[in-house]
Amino acid sequence: MADRTDELRVRFPPSPTGYLHIGSARTALYNWLLARKHGGRLVLRIEDTDAARSTEASTRAILEGLRWMGITWDEGPYNQTDHAEEHRAVARALEEAGHAYRCYCTPDELAARREKARAEKGQYGYDGTCRDLTPEQRAAREAEGRSHVVRFRVPRDRASFRYEDRVYGVMEVPADTIEDFVIVRSNGEPLYVLSNVVDDHRDRVNLVVRGADHRFNTIKQILIYEAMGWPVPDFGHIPLTLDPKRAKISKRRHGEVVTVEFYRDRGFLPWAFCNFVALQGWNAGDDREVYLTPEELVEAFDLSRVSRTNSVFNYDPGNKKFFTDPKAIHINAAHIRGIPLDELAAHLRPWFEREGLWDPAWDAPGEARERFLATLDLIRQRYHLLGDFVTLGRAWFADDFDFDPKAVKKRLSRPELAELLPALAERLAAVEPWDAEHTETALRAFCEERGVKPGLVINAARVATTGQAVGPGIFDVFASLGRERTTRRIAAAAERFFGS
């Protein structure tokens, strides 16, 4: 394909050393949004160079997490290790051109000199011992059998290094704070700081969007681009997401609660999760929190509105319901209420199947499916997580639903209900036609005849028919459950809770 020079090319290069956590998920999402917004391309590259820590399982988990989020890539996934030879070749080229040199200092020597320099002059970093070795000095060190690393020769003709970050603005550091950094280890392995540049160049990346923890790598990497005479991409760093204690989120320390999988398994809609993640460190300049479709977010998203301050990600794995940021739950609930019913049904299907509650008749268009969708529409108004449909909403799909003990205690304890409930069931059994309007008329007339407050009977009927103290309007509940289930459950509740 011909290369369009105006085409935006972004990338997501995760290291496969753990699950996809919320911070990397956000980096991937921002890149994806930018590619969609500008008709660009997203390159996926697995940075598996660290053989000791990279695993196949992690690569799979990352790809699965991205797929679940709906993040698609246009190229890749490439493996960084497939290009190891190329990374070494670039290191050699840098060395040959004098932009890099061999350093024979041993770790012990380095440590000793660093200590001394820090004590005497308050300096740190590599002191340049091997920067200007003569060929003879080099040969002597090799003859001693010393191994070497390759260091980049940082230019010393400038007072500072700077670049313009698309998020943080001008980034400038005094030149002497950038030491001659290592680009190839003593075992011949190129380091991230080099491989990443070589790969981004080959993949023709022209905008690098990544976590703010890489801001100072960027200074070094730009020097490599310049030394190679390669075009330098734009850089935009995004602030970190911190845990509730304001520490950097790490998969190892926080376990699964910070992973994408956790949200999937706890009943998040994938796009609602993306919506929440996008708002960790970005807003459109208004109070808007809900973007029901990817299109809406693509339209609104812009790197220039990414915040420069780290965002805090609140969660509480010990809390069964509000295990994560309340804002995340609120956004998921808004999506559950707001997306087309067909889509919601598709997301719910595995949840129903796991409970043995999926009716194959719901697969095909027809009356059964219409009724199912209408039920979803009724009950979704109060739900926060997909699992709520088969737990809180189980009564709509099965007779063996649980009764919330608090609801029973509060709503099914007045002794007069022992007699009222069977009588109500009998009255409702005769209502024609069975709909919200007619059941309401019948119930209210019943209460008036008996001289009881409708609230008493309505609240009791709600718990009797659904097991819950709250839910949709009771007459809609009756209409939705149907005559048979409604009357049977009201009568059964009298027996069960009053022994009558």
Annotated catalytic residues are: 251
Shortest Å distance, C-beta 267 to Zn ion: 56
Q: How many CB atoms lie within 10 A of CB 43?
A: 24
Contacts to ligand GLU from residues 6-25, by CB under 6 A: 13-15
Residues ≥6 apart with Cβ < 8 Å to 362: 345, 368, 369, 372
Contacts to ligand GLU from residues 176-205, by CB under 6 A: 196
**Residue 199 CB-half CA count within 13 A:** 31
Q: How many CB atoms lie within 10 A of CB 117?
A: 15
Contacts to ligand GLU from residues 20-59, by CB under 6 A: 47
Per DSSP, 233 falls in state: P
Q: Is residue 259 a contact residue for ligand GLU (CB under 6 A)?
A: no
**Residue 475 CB-half CA count within 13 A:** 15
Q: Is residue 154 a contact residue for Zn ion (CB under 5 A)?
A: no
Shortest Å distance, C-beta 187 to Zn ion: 17
Contacts to ligand GLU from residues 347-376, by CB under 6 A: none
- Our CA dihedral for 258, 263, 265, 269, rounded to 10 degrees, sits at -170
Report the candidate in 494, 362, 335, 374 with the shortest Cα–Cα distance to residue 422. Answer: 494
**Cα distance between residue 474 and residue 466, in whole Å:** 10
Shortest Å distance, C-beta 239 to ligand GLU: 15
Applying CB under 6 A, among 38, 146, 202, 214 the residue interacting with ligand GLU is 214
- Distance of alpha carbon 333 from the chain centroid: 16
Which of Zn ion, ligand GLU, none has residue 47 at its interface (CB below 5 to 8 Å by kind)? ligand GLU
**Cα distance between residue 85 and residue 67, in whole Å:** 30
Which of ligand GLU, Zn ion, none has residue 311 at its interface (CB below 5 to 8 Å by kind)? none
Applying CB under 6 A, among 36, 41, 153, 210 the residue interacting with ligand GLU is 210
Write down how long the chain is: 500
Residues ≥6 apart with Cβ < 8 Å to 25: 65, 69, 260, 273, 277
Contacts to ligand GLU from residues 65-124, by CB under 6 A: none
Which of ligand GLU, Zn ion, none has residue 275 at its interface (CB below 5 to 8 Å by kind)? none
Shortest Å distance, C-beta 256 to ligand GLU: 19
**Which structure tokens are listed for 99?**
């932009």
Total site size for ligand GLU, rule CB under 6 A: 7
**Cα distance between residue 452 and residue 431, in whole Å:** 20
Which of Zn ion, ligand GLU, none has residue 103 at its interface (CB below 5 to 8 Å by kind)? Zn ion
Report the candidate in 456, 438, 435, 459 with the shortest Cα–Cα distance to residue 447. Answer: 456
- Please identify, using beta-carbon distances, which residue of 11 and 102 lies nearer to Zn ion: 102
In angstroms, how far is the first alpha carbon of the chain from the final one?
79
- Please identify, using beta-carbon distances, which residue of 131 and 444 lies nearer to Zn ion: 131
Cis peptide, bond prior to residue 135, ω within 30 of zero: no
**Cα distance between residue 61 and residue 70, in whole Å:** 14
Total site size for Zn ion, rule CB under 5 A: 4
Shortest Å distance, C-beta 390 to ligand GLU: 37
- Please identify, using beta-carbon distances, which residue of 103 and 447 lies nearer to Zn ion: 103
Applying CB under 5 A, among 129, 283, 310, 311 the residue interacting with Zn ion is 129
Scanning 103-111, 176-184, 248-256, 371-379 for contacts with Zn ion by CB under 5 A, the matching segment is 103-111
Shortest Å distance, C-beta 235 to ligand GLU: 10
Q: Is residue 103 a contact residue for Zn ion (CB under 5 A)?
A: yes
Which of ligand GLU, Zn ion, none has residue 325 at its interface (CB below 5 to 8 Å by kind)? none
Report the candidate in 185, 150, 157, 172 with the shortest Cα–Cα distance to residue 222. Answer: 172
Applying CB under 5 A, among 130, 269, 333, 378 the residue interacting with Zn ion is 130
**Which structure tokens are listed for 422?**
């069977």
| CB-CB contact of 44 with 73 (8 Å) | yes
Shortest Å distance, C-beta 296 to Zn ion: 55
- Kindly list the residues in this chain that would bind Zn ion in the complex (CB under 5 A): 103, 105, 129-130
Question: Which chain residues interact with ligand GLU by CB under 6 A?
Answer: 13-15, 47, 196, 210, 214
